[in-house]
């Protein structure tokens, strides 16, 4: 057994702490208060942050133990909490560049899906893949997330559409959580599309979800969240409500893919059922946004998906101004957002949604933690939180968004261990 050495990250040009929001996500002006310490340092031991302050303060505090620690010099660099991606479809097989090409020639995402491609195409590939194949493909994706500074990702099932494959995806997610340093938060998304066999009797599939699959997932402890694609032509708001309420009765917290392609009162529904987050929201109504603000439902915005589907992004600026807690995510999936680059999503958050560089940092750290009910453990650099830290090779947080399409990740510390250098 290797005893873990203390880690001393020293003298960051900017140390973004985001201290003081473990109990609730940040809203409005709070999203711009990053709690920056200049010449900042962190002492991590036993995987947990022990002290955060200026380098002078920490060097004095740990004077007698300096030689024990592994020192990481962050001079001239930006240090943030490990980035958090609160919405991914991490576990899938194959890719869909053929559909990308079709869309470039005028087909729409929904047309392709209704013709048996889209989510159905990835479902066939995922059904055909073995557990090992799915594990290796997803493990490599997690490596790429980590190299982009991400230390926790939410991961949804939903490319099964029948029990065996949904189970396989969730078991792969569980194994990834055990074998890979990146932490995985699992979500059951059996309600991702209506399988072809149920096209003429969608309520029969909803019955299968609520009477069989959701109770089994909960009993096996394979997911923390339950998600549904509430969209015209997929699951109606009534069906979505039933699916989310059933999950809640079985202890699964609610998430919802809402108002992505057409307005469908998904944001309103999220507030009514007390969802932890509502995601996408390109077509959300103002009434829905206000309801989310009132209930503290986190908006997980996915500007990479809007970019890739050539659609107008959600109105992040308006949501922040209305008091909705906003988080950002890649939506990593093979159809609508084949990327692991959360830093690129941050750039889109600024340029396509009118958010400021400070707000997008909050949206990918503490607010992203709250979007997956982890605000007490991760998302900020403060004593008692997990030792998850990303060091970027830029001098300040604005430059991270400004200098886009480049991976600035320099060093990643996960659970107090250097895992990328």
* Closest separation in Å from C-beta 322 to ligand NIG: 23
Ligand-binding site membership of 87 (annotated) = yes
Contacting residue, 45, 99, 183, 331, with Fe ion by CB under 5 A: 331
260 binds, among Fe ion, ligand NIG, none (CB under 5 to 8 A by kind): ligand NIG
Q: Which residue is nearest to Fe ion (CB)?
A: 331
Question: CB neighbours (10 Å) of residue 106?
Answer: 7
* Closest separation in Å from C-beta 31 to Fe ion: 23
CA distance 26 to 367: 6
* Closest separation in Å from C-beta 350 to ligand NIG: 21
380 binds, among ligand NIG, Fe ion, none (CB under 5 to 8 A by kind): none
Q: What is the CA radius of gyration of the chain?
A: 21
Ligand-binding site membership of 404 (annotated) = no
Ligand-binding site membership of 62 (annotated) = no
Ligand-binding site membership of 335 (annotated) = yes
Give the footprint of ligand NIG on this chain (CB under 6 A): 89, 118-119, 122, 229, 257, 260, 305, 331, 333-336
305 binds, among Fe ion, ligand NIG, none (CB under 5 to 8 A by kind): ligand NIG
Task: Compare residues 166 and 260 and give the one whose CB is closer to ligand NIG.
Answer: 260
Ligand-binding site membership of 387 (annotated) = no
* Closest separation in Å from C-beta 347 to Fe ion: 20
Ligand-binding site membership of 159 (annotated) = yes
Ligand-binding site membership of 260 (annotated) = yes
Ligand-binding site membership of 259 (annotated) = no
Task: Compare residues 337 and 380 and give the one whose CB is closer to ligand NIG.
Answer: 337
Task: Compare residues 259 and 331 and give the one whose CB is closer to Fe ion.
Answer: 331
* Closest separation in Å from C-beta 260 to Fe ion: 8
* Closest separation in Å from C-beta 263 to ligand NIG: 15
* Closest separation in Å from C-beta 41 to Fe ion: 38
Ligand-binding site membership of 68 (annotated) = no
Mind spelling out the 3-state secondary structure of the chain?
A: CCCCCCEEEEEEEEEECCCCCCCCCCCHHHHHCCCEEEEEEEEEECCEEEEEEEHHHHHHHCHHHHHHCEEEECCCCEEEECEEECCCCCCCCCCCHHHHHHHHCCCCHHHHHHCCCCHHHHHHHHHHCCHHHHHHHHHHHHHHHHHCCEEEEEEECCCCCCHHHHHHHHHHHHHHHHHCCCEEEEEEEEECCCCHHHCCCHHHHHHHHHHHHHHHHHHHCCCCEEEEEECCCCECHHHHHHHHHHHHHCCCEEEEEECCCCCCCHHHHHHHHCCCEEEECCCCCHHHHHHHHHHCCEEEECHHHHHHCCCCCCCHHHHHHCCCCEEECCCCECCCECCCCHHHHHHHHHHHHCCCHHHHHHHCCHHHHHHCCCCCCCCCCCCCCECCEEEECCCCHHHHHHCCCCCCEEEEEECCEEEEC
Task: Compare residues 103 and 386 and give the one whose CB is closer to ligand NIG.
Answer: 103
388 binds, among Fe ion, ligand NIG, none (CB under 5 to 8 A by kind): none
Task: Compare residues 35 and 195 and give the one whose CB is closer to Fe ion.
Answer: 195
Positions at the binding site for Zn(2+): 87, 89, 257, 331
Q: What is the binding site for Fe ion (CB under 5 A)?
A: 331
Positions at the binding site: 87, 89, 96, 159, 192, 257, 260, 331, 333, 335-336
């Amino acid at each position: 057994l290797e005893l873990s050495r203390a880690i001393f990250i020293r003298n960051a040009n900017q140390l973004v702490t985001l201290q003081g929001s473990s109990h609730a996500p940040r809203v409005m002006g709070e999203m711009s208060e990053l709690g920056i310490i200049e010449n900042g340092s962190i002492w991590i031991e036993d995987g947990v942050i022990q002290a955060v302050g200026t380098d002078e303060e920490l060097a004095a505090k740990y004077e007698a133990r300096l030689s024990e620690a592994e020192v990481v010099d962050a001079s001239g660099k930006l240090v943030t909490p490990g980035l958090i991606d609160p919405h991914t479809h991490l576990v899938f097989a194959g890719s869909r560049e053929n559909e990308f090409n079709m869309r470039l020639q005028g087909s729409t995402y929904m047309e392709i899906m209704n013709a048996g491609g889209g989510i159905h195409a990835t479902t066939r590939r995922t059904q055909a893949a073995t557990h090992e194949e799915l594990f290796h493909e997803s493990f490599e994706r997690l490596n790429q997330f980590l190299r982009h500074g991400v230390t926790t990702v939410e991961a949804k099932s939903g490319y099964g559409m029948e029990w065996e494959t949904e189970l396989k995806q969730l078991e792969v997610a569980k194994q990834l959580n055990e074998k890979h340093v990146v932490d995985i938060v699992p979500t059951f998304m059996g309600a991702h599309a209506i399988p072809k066999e149920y096209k003429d009797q969608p309520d029969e599939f909803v019955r299968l979800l609520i009477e069989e699959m959701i109770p089994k997932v909960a009993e096996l402890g394979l997911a923390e969240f339950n998600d549904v694609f509430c969209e015209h032509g997929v699951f109606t708001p009534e069906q979505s409500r039933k699916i989310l309420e059933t999950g809640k009765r079985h202890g699964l917290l609610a998430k919802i893919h809402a108002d992505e392609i057409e307005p469908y009162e998904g944001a309103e529904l999220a507030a009514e059922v007390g969802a932890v987050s509502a995601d996408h929201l390109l077509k959300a109504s103002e009434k829905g946004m206000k309801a989310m603000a009132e209930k503290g439902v986190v908006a997980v915005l996915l500007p990479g998906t809007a970019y890739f589907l050539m659609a107008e992004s959600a109105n992040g600026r308006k949501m922040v101004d209305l008091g909705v807690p906003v988080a950002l995510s890649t939506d990593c999936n093979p159809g609508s957002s084949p990327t692991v680059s959360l830093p690129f999503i941050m750039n889109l958050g600024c340029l396509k949604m009118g958010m400021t560089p400070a707000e997008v940092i909050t949206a990918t750290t503490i607010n992203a933690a709250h979007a997956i009910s982890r605000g007490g453990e991760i998302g900020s650099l403060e004593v008692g939180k997990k030792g998850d830290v990303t060091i970027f090779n830029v001098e300040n947080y604005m430059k991270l968004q400004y200098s886009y399409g480049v991976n600035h990740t320099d060093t990643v510390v996960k659970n107090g261990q250097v895992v990328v250098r």
